[in-house]
Amino acid sequence: MRPEAFPENIQPYLVPKPTGRLMYRCLDCQATFDIKELLYTCPDCGQVLLIDDTDPDRLKHVSGQTWRRIFDYRKMLTLPALKGIYRYHEFLGSILPLDAIVYLGEGHTPVVEASGPLQQRAGAAFYFKNDGQNPSASFKDRGMASALSYINYLIQEGTVSDILAVCASTGDTSAAAALYSAYLSPKVKSAVLLPHKKVTPQQLAQPLGNGAAVFEIPGVFDDCMKVVEALSGSYPVALLNSKNAWRILGQESYSFEIAQDFEYDLTGKVIVVPIGNAGNITAVMRGFIKFYQAGIIATLPKIVGVQSNHADPVYRYYQEPDPARRQFEPVTVQPSVAQAAMIGNPVSMPRVAHLVERYNTLAGQPHVFFVRVTEQQIMDWHLKANQHGHIACTHGGECLAGLREACRLKYVSEDDVAVLDATAHPIKFSGFQNMYFERSFPDAYEVSPDQRLINHPILVQPEGPVPTEGKPLSETELPRFVATVSEFIANALKLHRKSAS
Ligand SMILES: *Cc1c(COP(=O)(O)O)cnc(C)c1O
Ligand SMILES: [Zn+2]
């Protein structure tokens, strides 16, 4: 729909212009820094940064009611820059002009109610939000759309040129980084660092296909992260890890979309997310806080962060009930089917600690919870979800296992309705499904397949001539082949012949 066709009181707001004054703010020493610099950590104290508005009250000049209408009407616009996460422009990178925005189809992923029988089996009411339906098949595209739109803006401004974007990755960050960087090539080139043999073949194929320089490094993600930090400290490269606060900003759109999907009423809602480097849960908390403070939502939903017992540093931190005595200890990770979250020393831990306190204070009660699940539970619920018609990756399975755990611990009550983050598309992780079905999981995963969940292809090998490539069967051979094979399948499926009528 064209802008002039919208109600007159909405028209002035419909197509946003660059507004606000953004700055980086250090979480520790509170120092602020100019947004036109590519900064990742505080130059004064080394702590991580978040992006803040110097005048947050500017958003309150428009009522919550009007914002809701603006976002709802923007759904009907066909401007590419506003079709993705920048529907919420004023709440994200509001300084960006629309012609700097990179839109590759990210965001507005479906919220799908879990099938009735699955909700019954799980003993809870819930939806999946399918973030695997993003362009590179994970939620990381939200953050990359933001980070690369910002870089594109700096290029347009003439502040930077010939960018080399780098990241360390458990697989999905590099897929997203390579995709968005390639879209801006040749002005932007990308290099990605992956832990050798710790990403799936599909995730390795993605940055290779998008033309990134791909380095496989011995060790785990935490080791790659150290190398990338050293690189960005000594060389002129743009860091695309979630240490980059622009990534967090883009990922806040996940919360905005949930608000809009539920008509801005989040009473009794529980948002369940897996935790790896903790960028996602950081963004999810910030997103809801922003909408709450602008009066767009009246209630903050509960948030449940889930970790596997093979990579659980955030869970352990919150086991200490007294905030004053909490001490963060990195862990050594064990092999995990939630491989994209297999991180022992999350970069965003200081952001999480800061925001959990803020979130709980605003909610007036404990509202952010952390649970831990086993690899077995993750795999079993991942498979069960998909056998009920969903497209949950292993991390989506982790969320479902985590929801059950949160119900058991009474963090979630019987009337609550959960929204589970299916963070990636399951085809990225089909190797784990194969290991389960073929009973070939290495012991270190601690997964023993449940026979009832195993599925195998059945190879049909009829007697007599069979067609082969370039050699079809003759007119007499074909009917016999078709009859033999269909009889085999009918027997295998225990079908009864239709009665002749
Ligand atoms: C990155 C990722 C996670 C973990 O998110 P963090 O922001 O690192 O906590 C979970 N699932 C998938 C599929 C991911 O790609
Ligand atoms: Zn500082």
Residues 319-339 have pLDDT tens digits of 999 999 999 999 999 999 999
DSSP tag of 41 = B
* Pair 174, 227 in one domain: yes
Hey, which residues does 274 pair with through a beta bridge? 306
DSSP tag of 134 = S
Give residue-wise pLDDT tens across range 417-443. Answer: 999 999 999 999 999 999 999 999 999
For range 354-381, the mean pLDDT:
98
* Pair 385, 482 in one domain: no
Map tokens 């963060």 to a residue: 328
* Pair 396, 487 in one domain: no
* Pair 161, 204 in one domain: yes
The closest-lying atom of ligand 1 relative to the alpha carbon of residue 277 is 8
- Residue 2's pLDDT is 85
* Pair 235, 260 in one domain: no
- Output the CA 303–ligand 2 centroid distance in Å: 28
Gap between the Cα atoms of 432 and 200, Å rounded: 9
**Ligand nearest the Cα atom of residue 32:** 2
**How many angstroms separate the first and last alpha carbons of the chain?**
55
Q: How many domains in the chain?
A: 3
- Output the CA 44–ligand 2 centroid distance in Å: 5
Domain that holds residue 465: 458-501
Q: Residue 342: exposed, middle, or buried by beta-carbon count in 10 A (0-12, 13-18, 19+)?
A: buried
What are the backbone dihedrals phi and psi of residue 363, each rounded to the nearest 5 degrees, phi first?
-75, -15
Instruction: Output the domain CATH number for residue 192.
Output: 3.40.50.1100
Which tokens is 111 given?
A: 């919220």
For range 55-67, the mean pLDDT:
92
| Cis peptide, bond prior to residue 186, ω within 30 of zero | yes
* Pair 161, 300 in one domain: no
Sign (positive or negative) of CA dihedral 463, 465, 469, 473: negative
* Pair 130, 177 in one domain: no
Closest listed residue to residue 126, CA positions, set 364, 449, 370, 381: 381
Residue 89 lies in a domain: no
- Output the CA 130–ligand 2 centroid distance in Å: 36
Which tokens is 40 given?
A: 């990742």
Among 275, 282, 304, residue to substitute to test ligand 1 (most atoms within 8 Å of Cβ): 275
Residue 493 lies in a domain: yes
DSSP tag of 493 = T
* Pair 367, 439 in one domain: yes
Residue 37 lies in a domain: no
Residue at a domain's end among 250, 281, 312: 250
Residue 16 lies in a domain: no
pLDDT higher than threshold 90 for residue 1: no
- Output the CA 41–ligand 2 centroid distance in Å: 8
175 CB within 6 A, ligand 1:
no
Give residue-wise pLDDT tens across range 244-261. Answer: 999 999 999 999 999 999
Residue 234 lies in a domain: yes
Chain centroid to CA 310: 20
Residue 176 lies in a domain: yes
Prediction pTM value: 0.96
Map tokens 């073949």 to a residue: 201
Residue at a domain's end among 201, 225, 250: 250
* Pair 294, 379 in one domain: yes
* Pair 418, 437 in one domain: yes
Residue 55 confidence class, pLDDT cut points 50, 70, 90: confident
- Residue 308's pLDDT is 98
Residue 278 lies in a domain: yes
Give residue-wise pLDDT tens across range 264-321. Answer: 999 999 999 999 999 999 999 999 999 999 999 999 999 999 999 999 999 999 999 9
- Output the CA 484–ligand 1 centroid distance in Å: 48
Sign (positive or negative) of CA dihedral 370, 198, 205, 148: positive
Residue at a domain's end among 250, 276, 310: 250
Q: Coil, strand, or helix at residue 128?
A: strand
State how beta strands 163-168 and 125-130 pair.
unpaired
Gap between the Cα atoms of 341 and 354, Å rounded: 21
The closest-lying atom of ligand 1 relative to the alpha carbon of residue 393 is 13
Gap between the Cα atoms of 351 and 347, Å rounded: 9
Among 241, 277, 312, residue to substitute to test ligand 1 (most atoms within 8 Å of Cβ): 277
DSSP tag of 319 = T
- Output the CA 242–ligand 1 centroid distance in Å: 10
425 CB within 6 A, ligand 1:
no
Residue 79 lies in a domain: no
Gap between the Cα atoms of 297 and 288, Å rounded: 8
* Pair 170, 117 in one domain: no
Among 139, 203, 348, residue to substitute to test ligand 1 (most atoms within 8 Å of Cβ): 139
The closest-lying atom of ligand 1 relative to the alpha carbon of residue 131 is 13
* Pair 413, 390 in one domain: yes
pLDDT higher than threshold 80 for residue 501: no
